[in-house]
Amino acid sequence: MMIIRPIRQEDFSALREIAEESGIGFTSLPVNEALLQKKIDNAESAFNSQVTQPGSESYLFVMEDTNTGRVVGTSGIEAAVGLEDAFYHYHLSKVVHASRELNVHNTVDLLTFCNDYTGVTEICTLFLREEARRGLNGRFLSKVRFLFMMEHRQRFSETIIAEMRGVSDEEGRSPFWEWLETHFFSVDFPTADYLTGIGNKVFIAELMPKYPIYVNLLSEEAQAVIGQVHEKTKPALRLLKEEGFDCRGYVDIFDAGPTVEANLAHIRTAQASRKLPVRIDDQQVKYGSSHFVINTEVVNFRAVTTAVLIKEDEHIAIISQQAADALNVKQGDMVRFSPVSFCD
């Protein structure tokens, strides 16, 4: 059985392996032991904190295969980005250059450097190891965050964003960054990506062009990847679009990958979720259907994918003993759940 739980200190080795496997461009997991240890420390602090409004909390979950005890994936939430470190984007917009006298009317795309998403909640650090990429695991790892946020809404902003990994090759070559590197930075993409991942963002403010960039002045290769995602990121983007996420014209400053956003109350998994007390009954639950289910804890948070039978007349959710054990719940405890079927 796969469970999702908060990361712990003993998960460090698994987190380091996942950071190595995720590759260049996966900024939220730099291959740096001190930074990875800090991520675990920050996550433990976030889960143990008493929160009345979103702040600098950084939540990191892991997916564990209970049959092997092996950590096979990660999934994260940043409660409010940009409060401590600047959070940069390019915003893609249009400007019109027109002359009635010459009968000329040209519409040109612009990239404008901005901090528009400061203070919003970001979902991040989604990575599932190759061995676990089957069945509902990918959906489960992504969507469980929406249930957690819906259950603990005071901890998060109503606006949720996700930065999608942009186009780069196996060597870490980003066509968009190559143009910026040539004209402004003189630092290759892997180096810039790594510096950002370890929190060193001063160079961005120092070297990034301060004025809007005319897109038609970029190389054809750079123009072609604006708003496009890495091949490995396409399934994650598809899942988020199913949930109601959309791109509002914001792209990453390094690889030009799109940033998508949605309002928490309008995210389909959150919107479809319900909260009911449980009854444990291995016989009746056979007539249930598959759901993503979480307990209502923070420090002792647990999530599983399991059958749930809803008894509307009794206002209860029936689950199996195995699921109850995995969730650390007993008869009468509350759970939040959302159906798997609506997103298939």
23's tokens: 């590759």
252's tokens: 């990453």
From 89, 230, 266, 291, active-site residue? 230
User: Is the pTM above the cut of 0.75?
Assistant: yes
Q: Band of the pLDDT at 201, cuts 50, 70, 90?
A: low
pLDDT tens digits, one per residue of 217-233: 999 999 999 999 998 88
pLDDT tens digits, one per residue of 127-154: 999 999 999 999 999 999 999 999 999 9
**pLDDT score of 344:** 43
Find the range with the poorest average confidence among 46-55, 139-148, 161-170. 161-170
Catalytic residue list contains 230: yes
Burial of 79 per CB tally in 10 Å (0-12, 13-18, 19+): buried
Match 């690889």 to its residue by tokens. 255
Domains, in order of start, for the chain: 2-88+116-268 (3.40.630.30), 273-343 (2.40.40.20)
Quick one: which of 283, 277, 284 has its CA closest to 317? 277
* Rg of the Cα atoms in the chain: 22
Averaged over 187-211, what is the pLDDT? 67
Look at residue 293 and tell me whether its pLDDT is greater than 90: yes
Find the range with the poorest average confidence among 39-43, 54-58, 74-78, 85-89. 85-89
**pLDDT score of 226:** 96
